[in-house]
Amino acid sequence: MQKDQVYAIESAKSVGEFVKSLGEVLRRSGFIINNESSMDMARAFRAHGTEVAEGFDLHMIQVCKPEKAAKSLGGNPERAVLMPKFVMVFTGQGKTQVRFLSYSEEDIKNVVDDPVFPGALAETYAKIRSMIDEAK
């Protein structure tokens, strides 16, 4: 994996404001936050009886386009290993930090033997990066 596959930006918005803004941008493009009720990791950990540090505010946002995902996975369930797409949002160095891990088309080809999927997934990764930029 290459370092440039981790998309890293800062936002002037708070974590909560960025998450709300990203949700709006996603919806306009036909995407959803698949795990909206469990993306706040402090709340999720506390729900399982685990204490978290004061100020811990990591949100792990699972981005999904249900119609496209259903068609893609119906065509080849081997694709599922690369389907979860998470945007991480947290406070670091006093600012809202956003991280998104994606894979190159070549890496995708090495994981899933599929003539169409690598290009399509690479396009989806690019779209998610542009939506992150729009939300910031």
Q: What is the pLDDT of residue 4?
A: 60
Question: φ, ψ for residue 52 (rounded to 5)?
Answer: -125, 155
**Bridge pairing between strands 85-92 and 59-64:** antiparallel
At 39-80, the pLDDT tens digits run: 999 999 999 999 999 999 999 999 999 999 999 999 999 999
Q: What is the pLDDT of residue 40?
A: 95
Neighbours of 49 (CB within 10 A): 6
Q: How far apart are CA 136 and CA 101, in angstroms?
A: 17
Question: Which domains are delineated in the chain?
Answer: 3-135 (3.30.310.70)
Its pTM stands at: 0.92
**Bridge pairing between strands 32-33 and 59-64:** antiparallel
What's the one-letter identity of residue 41?
M
